[in-house]
Amino acid sequence: RGRWQGPETFGEPVRIGEGFDNVLWLGTGDFTGNGYADVVVISKDEQALVHLNQGGLNGMDTLAAPLRFGGKLPEVTYDTIALGDLTGDGRTDIVGRLQHTGQVHRIINRSAAGAPEMFAPPQPFAVLDPGDIPAGLADVTASGRPDLLVLHADNSLSVHEVYAHGRGPEGEPAGEAVRHALDTGWNLETYKVLTLTDIDGDGHPDLLGLRHDGTLMVHRHSGSFDPRSPETTFDPPQVLGKGWDRFDIIS
């Protein structure tokens, strides 16, 4: 509804599409740089498709027919994907963890959606432990560059400041990431989905979690980041809504 209102922040759901039953993964991002959120999906047959936003929320006319990203994504398998602008050009890029490994790749958006060779070949972005799960990509540290939120096998959460030493023109990190421990007690037995998004419109990413019982929770960003006490970055959880148990993906 345009501003933070606690449990009343979101209005009633609006249907904007159908036929998404073949979707393995779904996310939102501005792939053309026009300021509107497009919907990108990875289908079960590994096709990468984008549904471009046609100018704002307008029911079933919100999204255009899907466009292919010039065929399949690179011939490697990613089991976790996150979206964010790695180069600062205003267009959404892709980060993916190589299946069953700790290797995280960056796939840079090079052209307008639907054009051939939209994405550059995958390049190294970060190295995690094999049991780590990238949970989101956003500027948690208030550095002006995106960070990688990581859920660890011991149920702790940390932010990897991938660009702590700077970044190159193709989104390449200039050095090793700096890890900041955020909190403990996170697990996928309680939370079906964890992601980062700006719920309250203050320009800082908030931590959004969907519990298995259908409760939507948010830990709002405090508005600042102190590397000496990173556990204070996110405020205590607040309930955003209930009855979300019929959803299995949030973005």
The pLDDT value given to residue 111: 67
- Across 11-20, 26-35, 76-85, 227-236, the highest mean pLDDT is recorded for 227-236
Residue 115 has pLDDT above 60, yes or no: no
**Residue 110 is assigned to a structural domain of this protein:** yes
What is the rounded CA–CA span in Å between residue 133 and residue 102? 9
**Residue 243 is assigned to a structural domain of this protein:** no
What is the rounded CA–CA span in Å between residue 226 and residue 142? 10
**Residue 242 is assigned to a structural domain of this protein:** no
**Residue 246 is assigned to a structural domain of this protein:** no
Q: How confident is the model at residue 98 (pLDDT cuts 50, 70, 90)?
A: confident
**Residue 251 is assigned to a structural domain of this protein:** no
Q: What domain range is 180 assigned to?
A: 14-186
- Residue 83 tokens read as 């979206």
Q: Which helix (H) or strand (E) holds 39?
A: strand 38-43
Strand order in the sheet with 23-29: 23-29, 38-43, 47-51, 67-72
- Residue 101 tokens read as 């490994």
**Residue 1 is assigned to a structural domain of this protein:** no
**Residue 239 is assigned to a structural domain of this protein:** no
**Phi and psi angles of residue 7, each rounded to the nearest 5 degrees, phi first:** -65, -15
What residues contact 138, with CB distance under 8 A and at least 6 apart? 84, 146, 147, 149, 196, 197, 198, 205
Say how many domains are in the chain. Answer: 1
**Residue 118 is assigned to a structural domain of this protein:** yes
What's the mean pLDDT in 16-30? 87
Read off the pLDDT of residues 26-80 as tens digits, 9 standing for 90 and up: 889 998 888 899 998 877 876 777 899 999 999 999 999 987 764 445 556 777 8
